[in-house]
């Protein structure tokens, strides 16, 4: 058990049998009445977000999720199979649990983190920074900076990000997958 005073971003709570991660919290002390804590909670499995308010000092059930290295192997329909790096077991995880925002950056043999609850991998997190090859982009024209000097580029996984004009097809780039943002060119 934990108290609302111990809240922090990323903390996972068990609420009505579901696992919810705190993505935002704010302690509020109004001039009249008791203090309370406003939170935004994200379901670890489904990704849905809810707002919830707790009284200051209220007890909640916190959960410790272990993190374990897993490698993406292959997909079969809507199931994505990951190999547990410790036990070498194949772990099927549904695509909607992984989330579309992560799936567009997933590639074979990618090292990811499995979130473990009660000795079972329940979800997967990709690395924040991924290195992928540009498969399609228009050639940049020197002096063409009307759009801020960027152009769309399709990556080997199908994701599309804005890249500088000097990036060409076949080049490896580093992307922050959380923001769909180009970071740098990777020398091969």
Confidence of residue 159 (pLDDT cuts 50, 70, 90): very high
Q: Does the pLDDT at position 188 exceed 90?
A: no
User: Which CATH class for the 66-125 domain?
Assistant: mainly beta
Region 127-139: mean pLDDT is: 93
For the chain, domain boundaries: 2-63, 66-125, 129-186
Confidence of residue 174 (pLDDT cuts 50, 70, 90): very high
Pairing of strands 12-15, 18-28: antiparallel
CATH superfamily, domain 129-186, is Nucleic acid-binding proteins (2.40.50.140)
Contacts for 68 with CB less than 8 Å, ≥ 6 apart: 84, 85, 86, 113, 114, 116, 121
Assigned fold of 2-63: SH3 type barrels. (2.30.30)
The pLDDT of residue 71: 95
The pLDDT of residue 101: 85
Q: Evaluate whether 2-63 and 66-125 have a shared fold.
A: no
The pLDDT of residue 108: 93
pLDDT, tens digit (0-9, with 9 covering 90-100), for 75-109: 998 899 999 988 899 999 888 888 888 899 999 99
Structure tokens, 40: 């935004």
C-alpha 143: how far from chain center = 36
Q: How many other β-carbons are positioned within 10 Å of the β-carbon of residue 174?
A: 14
Confidence of residue 146 (pLDDT cuts 50, 70, 90): low
* CB of 83 closer than 8 Å to CB of 90: yes
Mean pLDDT of the chain: 89
């Amino acid at each position: 058990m934990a108290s609302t005073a111990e809240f922090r971003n990323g903390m996972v709570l068990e609420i009505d049998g579901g696992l919810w991660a705190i993505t935002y919290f704010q302690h509020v002390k109004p001039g009249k009445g008791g203090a309370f804590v406003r939170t935004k909670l994200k379901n670890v499995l489904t990704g849905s977000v809810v707002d919830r308010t707790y009284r200051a000092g209220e007890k909640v059930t916190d959960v410790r999720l272990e993190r374990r290295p897993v490698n993406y192997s292959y997909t079969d329909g809507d199931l994505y199979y990951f190999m547990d790096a410790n036990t070498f077991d194949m772990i099927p995880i549904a695509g909607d649990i992984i989330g579309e925002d992560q799936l567009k950056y997933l590639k074979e043999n990618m090292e990811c983190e499995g979130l473990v609850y009660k000795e079972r991998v329940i979800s997967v997190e990709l690395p924040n920074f991924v290195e992928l090859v540009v498969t399609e982009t228009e050639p940049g024209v020197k002096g063409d900076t009307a759009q801020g000097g960027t152009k769309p580029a399709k990556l080997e996984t199908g994701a599309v990000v804005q890249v500088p004009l000097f990036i060409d097809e076949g080049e490896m780039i580093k992307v922050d997958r959380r923001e769909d943002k180009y970071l740098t060119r990777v020398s091969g």
